[in-house]
Chains A and B, each alone.
Chain A
Amino acid sequence: MKILHKEILGQTEETRLTKIEVSAPDIAGRALPGQFAVLMVSEQGERIPLTIVDCDKAKGIITFIFQEAGLTTKLLGKLNPGDSLYALAGPLGHPTEIKNYGRVILVGGGVGIAELYPVAKALKEAGNQVVTILGARTKELLILEEELKSVSDELYVTTDDGSYGRKGFTTDILKEILNPRTREPENPRTNLVYAVGPIPMMRRCAAVTGGFKLKTLVSLNALMVDATGMCGCCRVEVGGKTKFSCVDGPEFDGHLVDWDGLTKRNAVYLEQEKHICNLMLK
């Protein structure tokens, strides 16, 4: 659980995207793309899930990339190489189904780009034609562009403020690629869209692909406590059925997710979060 390496991948005045490498031989030995781990920074801390971005089985090291947004991620960002996490367990959740789908479009937004990377790498290795669309708020917060370029056949970048790549949203490009009037006619049909990022982005992606009846997987970031199927905090309605993101997910069919419910449930503790951040980080 010792942090071996730390790197700031991107930052603005209000937030940072941070990468840490942690010693965790058991998890590294068994983790697959799409899985996550749950960690605690201190004995008083929360349990939070983070996607396993990379793992070095031989050295027993796993990599996390996180945005310093709430109290726990900010405290995690204060740790340095040599420090240890208080708790770390995994790998959790179902791994992504990796196979040759043909042509796949991968959409990553914000820190979700980190979660996209292991999936993109595995899909490329499985022989897929990989089209990647990355979205960030601004140039300073765009991460892993080179890494994803190396595993993609095509790569597009958008920023909300137009400071890099195309100004606009990932869905603008997604629409163009899929729309019969704008798409490159020689490209084969897309067989899978995989989206991970902020809820509004995943929701918009699913709305776009819904029109094309295109299989769309989304990797949800529901709130969790134990993350082992014990509490049901992360439950989300998928196709009218209650699912636990931690053990049934984290990937679900984007066309069946109850996005309103998920959005509301993820906002349940916003006030407490604001309060504790003001209290602890001043």
Chain B
Amino acid sequence: MRKEPQEAKERDASQRINSFEEVVFGYSEEEALREAGRCLQCKNPVCILGCPVGIEIKKFIYQITQKDYQGAYFTIREKNDFPSICGRVCPAEYQCRQTCVLTKKGSPFAAKEAINIHFLERFVGDYGMKNNLPVPLEKCTGAAKIKVAVVGSGPAGICCSGELARKGIKVIVFESLHKLGGVLRYGIPPFRLPRDILDFEIDYLKKLGVEFVPNCIIGKAKTLDGLFKEGFAAVFLGLGAGTPSFLGIPGENLCNVYSANEFLTRVNLMCAYDFPKFHTPVNIDKHVIVIGGGNTAMDAARVALRLQKMSGITPDTTILYRRSEVEMPARRLEIEHAKEEGIKFKLLVKPEEFYADEKGFVQEIRCLECRLGEPDSSGRRKPIPVPGSDFKMPCDLAIIAVGLQANQILTKATPEIKVDVWADVVVDPQTMETSLKKVFAGGDIVGGEGTVIEAMGMAKKAAEAILKVCSA
């Protein structure tokens, strides 16, 4: 008889909305052993095909069953420098768990029965962290005197840095913000990715010899040309998709209408939830409306609900989305967590206008109902607004989470770098090299918004090409 999947224990919903403590506890050793024991150890492990960095999933799960956690740790580390991060934020249900043989072919996301590969990865990563496992340094290839500049310390940047540093390259990472981690710091809330985990993984890079320069905006304080003059052999751009999109509807610039990026940056990066100990404020109010259906929308809604609870306001946070739940790009787990915490979902609605009170603060939102039409270019069914279906909802704080675009500070300062119509950087897909020689790019600045692990996949590919440039 097939064994039931092992669930990961979670902080109770009624408890967790009082704080920013981590929601998922992760597996105990027994739980990890039980889940690893369910793995069929397929002859042809198709799960690996679902992993953008090609972790040897079958092997590390086998090592867990043998209680060789250290071995499992190094198996993952060979392909992924950040198991404790990816084990927490990877949308595994669209990746390794979807290709796991226990998921039926053709289903839109992983079956419940699919092996919980992400929880096992997290278990192994956290084991390595707790036991301070040494860094497996590969022999330097005589490249130690070669310097490479990495722009941005988000997922792509740190991944590329790790790959290069392990080969003995001197890596200097330039970050425009005062703290490191990019979207892992300003975007993903601590209840999904605790800050000590992020700090540990970044410290690991420092141990590898990677140097970090915060507060340095490449394109402004230094140019790419300047970096090459300083003696860098190559540059990797992990600029991210930093600029928030808006809806373009009336009232969008009223007070208390936030982009998700602003709302989350205030809370996650600037610690506004701990105001006034931290000096950056953020507003919270009685009826919060979050617009969007991705992970950012889930994060923003769950942060807003916590702030309501922590400020003594009866939680009332609603997510508005144009399509239905199936089409939501968010991780299924985040949708579940949001529901458990009391986030309301109002689906198939399209915001039309915000209305203000006399002081200019948003007070109400008007929407149209939608029905689903034929699939559009994204493959998802297109929402079609129903004329005359207008309705209003109270809304005294709105958060717009409808996507992000390229941040153009560097590309505008460097017109030699070819960009596409979305201002994303165009690269050679084989090498990730841009139209400017010896300048490589990866992550969301290439091809728009993706996941942490997809960014890392591109960064690894770029790192390989950069190593070739360095040894040439």
Tell me the A residues contacting B by CB distance below 8 Å. 1, 26-27, 30, 40, 44-47, 71-72, 86-92, 225-226, 228-233, 235-237, 242, 247, 258, 260-261, 264-265, 267-269, 272-273, 275-276, 279-280
Contacts and interface: CB of A to CB of B under 8 A. Distances in A.
B175 to A, nearest CB: 9
Nearest to A272: B281
Interface stretch (B6-14, B98-106, B254-262, B336-344): B254-262
Interface in B235-272: 242-244, 246, 248, 252-256, 258-259, 261-262, 265-266, 270-271
Interface centre among B217, B265, B283 (most CB of A within 10 A): B217
Nearest to B242: A230
Contacts of A237: 253
B178 interface: yes
A27 B360 CA distance: 37
Contacts of A89: 176-178, 215-217, 220-221
Contacts of A247: 408-409
Interface in B277-302: 277-281, 283
Given A40-B178, A264-B359, 6 more contacts: A45-B280, A225-B262, A228-B407, A229-B407, A230-B261, A268-B255
A2 B271 CA distance: 25
B184 to A, nearest CB: 14
Contacts of A90: 217, 220-221
5 contacts: A46-B270, A89-B177, A265-B253, A272-B281, A279-B276
A44 B221 contact: no
Interface residues of B, number: 42
Contacts of B281: 269, 272-273, 276
B282 to A, nearest CB: 9
B279 A72 contact: yes
A44 B253 CA distance: 28
A44 B360 contact: no
B54 interface: no
A89 to B, nearest CB: 4
A229 B404 CA distance: 11
Contacts of B279: 44-46, 71-72, 276
B447 interface: no
B213 to A, nearest CB: 10
Contact of B253 (A40, A230, A242, A272): A242
Contacts of A236: 253
B444 to A, nearest CB: 12
Given A229-B408, A268-B283, A276 B276 contact: yes
A30 B221 contact: yes
| Interface of A (DSSP majority class) | mixed
B217 A232 contact: no
B356 to A, nearest CB: 8
Given A87-B215, A225-B266, A231-B262, A272 B221 contact: no
Name the 9 nearest CB pairs between A and B, nearest first: A264-B360, A231-B262, A87-B178, A272-B281, A26-B221, A232-B259, A89-B215, A276-B276, A230-B242
A280 B279 CA distance: 10
B275 interface: yes
B214 interface: yes
Mostly, the B contact residues are: loop
A115 B151 CA distance: 31
A86 B261 CA distance: 23
A64 to B, nearest CB: 15
Contact of B270 (A225, A258, A276): A225
Most A CB within 10 A of own CB, among B215, B265, B359, B409: B215
A19 B104 CA distance: 68
Nearest to A41: B279
Contacts of A261: 253-254, 360
B437 interface: no
A183 B368 CA distance: 56
A228 B221 contact: no
B275 A91 contact: no
Contacts of A276: 275-276, 279, 281
Interface string B172-188: 00001110000000100
Given A261-B360, A272-B275, A230 B265 contact: yes
A92 B220 contact: yes
B384 to A, nearest CB: 26
Contacts of B254: 261, 264
A230 B259 CA distance: 10
Contact of A265 (B214, B244, B360): B360
B244 A232 contact: yes
A92 B413 CA distance: 12
Contacts of A71: 279
B222 interface: yes
B256 A226 contact: no
B407 A88 contact: no
Most buried by B among A88, A225, A231, A275: A231
B155 to A, nearest CB: 16
Contacts of B186: 226, 230
Contacts of B266: 225, 231
Interface string B202-241: 0000000000001111001110000000000000000000
B242 A228 contact: yes
B268 to A, nearest CB: 11
A72 B254 CA distance: 25
Nearest to A273: B281
A142 to B, nearest CB: 30
Contact of B243 (A1, A88, A229, A260): A229
B265 A225 contact: yes
Contacts of B177: 89, 226, 228
